[in-house]
Structure 1
Amino acid sequence: MQNFVNGLSLGSLYALIAIGYTMVYGILRLINFAHGDVFMMSVYFAFYFVTIGKLPWWLSFALAILGAALLGFAIDRVAYKPIRNAPRVSALITAIGVSFFLESLAVVVFSGIPKSFRNIYPNFLNKMIIIGGHEEIKYGRKVIMGGLRFPLVSLVTLIITGIILVILWWIIYRTKIGMAMRAVSVDIPTTALMGINVDNVIGFTFAFGSALAAIGGLLWASRYPQIWPYMGFMPGLKAFIAAVFGGIGSIQGAVIGGLLLGLTEIMLVGIFPSLAGYRDAFAFFILIIILSLKPNGLLGKKIIVKV
């Protein structure tokens, strides 16, 4: 049960990042490989707002999320908008180039030396939640005997993810911008003929997806409090795997894929500790299996191209 809770917490982080991937792909059919690096930049924003700006953690986190949203919007306007009508391979190469640029920029500006995020987030997230069991004192140490024991940040991550998913559902299915996003994902030329500013819709999608990545990044750094310029690489790839697993282009699929991937990783290590070193390799193994057996993912739709 303890591994189950930790797996849900990790999976919810993958889901938050994967939603950004799947939103952009659903509209532009573009894999934004710079998404994981926006995740990384948001954590550095929060770190320097606290350490240099001397701002409280909650304000720093809010500004970091806003900064990530603006960065995502800027990436779309500078890198992707000029090649809207170019072949898809050009957009793919551009996405990889933007990813390398952000990583190299972070190394130059922030240095490649890892920094501790432990004193940035509130201390109460370090507390352990104990359900059941009892405590004993042995040799001056407090020992937990039995019961369910997990950090508070895991519970907070699950709650925040649930709230964000409700807000996301409301935006997509109950607002005009959400209706425009769904229309653009189906047919861009026809949507433009209806008087909708497609570029603004796409820019909002990038900004909103980047804000979700920032929330995931801040929760990730609170859970694993060490930051460095390449910290977004592996979580970004894992989130991409989760998006493909659930069916890239489907928000519900991204959530399900993220949760299943997190649960699978944690349960694998919990049941077979000797396989802990193969945790990342197992995620890529899942990607190969999914692409081989069900290329559209769990909830993905089959696209038929008429020639």
Structure 2
Amino acid sequence: MSQLIWNGLFVGSFYALVALGYSMVYGIIKLLNFAHGDLYMLGAFSGFAMLGAMGGLVKSQSLLALFIVLLLAMLTTGLSGVVLERVAYRPLRRAPRLALLITAVGASFALEYGTRIVAGANPKVYPVRLGGTTLHVFGARITVQQLALVGVAVALMVALHLLITRSRQGRAMRAIALDPRAALLMGVDVDKVIARTFFIGSALAGAAGVMAGGYYGKIDFLMGFIIGLKAFTAAVIGGIGNMQGTMLGGLVLGLLESFGTHWLGGEWRDVFAFGCLILFLTVRPTGLLGERVTERV
């Protein structure tokens, strides 16, 4: 039981980190950014390229190199998210939502197959592979590297929570989420705040991509597809648009997958996860911490 719980929390922390970008963008401009999972993939490939360029530093100081690459990949994917918003989404912000949704799907395929053209179709082996000492806690096998990755994920989520709740930038985000027209009239630069939101959400996805590459050791150009759908599922379970709910939803989805795999077998993992998505949409479409709101006309 303790091993299943730990496995669920470990995977759920990745889901939560990626899902926060979904939830932030949806909360502000009501856009389901289906290209968000591919920014996770882009972060993993950016880290792969940077680690390859470092050469000797990777062999002598692998953890230090991975930490430096993590920060650089966050910057790269953050800027990529800003460019994506400026080129693909901002011109269509006043268009029907179906047009934005189709554009998001097109952006997803563009990122996937653009990466395939540049990096090739074959999976890549990460230059740094995290492994090491195993601890036994309440019967569960936990590695020090797993604890470190969960610690980084939690630190990033806490930093995001403090940014949204305690900073001027966070107040501007919440104001735009409530009423973008009123926020504009009060002097808030809506375009700049939305661009920063894309930067932050994309940077978190990029960080998760680098950590996944370092832990699992293999990346490919389609790795963002499933994680994007899982992150969307986590956001829906927790309450899309609600930051605390999204974090909770990621952990809940990880636990559901862990126990579902144990009960039904590994081949039923995705079936069980998306079945839970259908169940939540049927029984509680607003999610665990979401609230029913009346849409402004």
Query: Normalising to structure 1: TM-score of the pair?
Result: 0.90
Deviates more, 1:40-49 or 1:147-156: 147-156
Does 1:285 pair with 2:275? yes
Structure 2 residue aligned with 1:294, among 269, 278, 284?
284
Deviations 1:91-141 (A, max 9, x none): 101100000100110110010100111x325xxx301322269xxxxxxxx
- What is residue 131 of structure 1 aligned with on the other side? 136
TM-superposed CA distance for 1:85, in Å, is 0.7
Does 1:106 pair with 2:106? no
- What is residue 142 of structure 1 aligned with on the other side? none
CA contact (8 A) 1:40 1:232 kept: yes
**Residue type matched to 2:10 in 1?**
S
TM-superposed CA distance for 1:15, in Å, is 0.3
Deviates more, 1:85-94 or 1:219-228: 219-228
TM-superposed CA distance for 1:306, in Å, is 6.6
Q: Match of 1:162, SS?
A: helix
- What is residue 229 of structure 1 aligned with on the other side? 221
CA contact (8 A) 2:257 2:273 kept: yes
TM-superposed CA distance for 1:63, in Å, is 1.1
RMSD of aligned Cα (Å): 1.6
Hey, what's the Cα distance between the residues in 2 that align with 1:132 and 1:202? 43
Deviations 1:200-251 (A, max 9, x none): 0000000000011111112222232210100011011001000001111101
Deviates more, 1:291-300 or 1:178-187: 291-300
Higher helix share: 2
**Residue type matched to 2:84 in 1?**
I
- What is residue 247 of structure 1 aligned with on the other side? 239
CA contact (8 A) 1:246 1:299 kept: yes
Does 1:97 pair with 2:106? yes
**Residue type matched to 1:71 in 2?**
S
Hey, what's the Cα distance between the residues in 2 that align with 1:159 and 1:148? 18
Deviations 1:138-165 (A, max 9, x none): xxxxxxxxx4312333212221122122
Does 1:194 pair with 2:194? no
Percent of aligned pairs with the same residue?
A: 42
The 4+ residue runs of structure 1 with deviation greater than 6 A are none
Hey, what's the Cα distance between the residues in 1 that align with 2:180 and 2:295? 16
**Residue type matched to 2:272 in 1?**
F
- What is residue 50 of structure 2 aligned with on the other side? 49
Hey, what's the Cα distance between the residues in 2 that align with 1:306 and 1:131? 53
- What is residue 128 of structure 2 aligned with on the other side? 120
CA contact (8 A) 2:161 2:243 kept: no
- What is residue 214 of structure 1 aligned with on the other side? 206
TM-superposed CA distance for 1:17, in Å, is 0.5
**Residue type matched to 2:172 in 1?**
A
Structure 2 residue aligned with 1:71, among 62, 66, 80?
80
Hey, what's the Cα distance between the residues in 2 that align with 1:154 and 1:57? 14
The size of the alignment, in residue pairs, is 288
**Residue type matched to 2:288 in 1?**
L
TM-superposed CA distance for 1:303, in Å, is 2.0
**Residue type matched to 2:32 in 1?**
I
TM-superposed CA distance for 1:305, in Å, is 3.8
Hey, what's the Cα distance between the residues in 1 that align with 2:258 and 2:245? 20
Query: Normalising to structure 2: TM-score of the pair?
Result: 0.93
Task: Specify the structure having the higher radius of gyration (Cα).
Answer: 1
Hey, what's the Cα distance between the residues in 2 that align with 1:176 and 1:81? 23
CA contact (8 A) 2:39 2:202 kept: yes
TM-superposed CA distance for 1:53, in Å, is 4.7
CA contact (8 A) 1:153 1:222 kept: no
Hey, what's the Cα distance between the residues in 2 that align with 1:112 and 1:172? 39
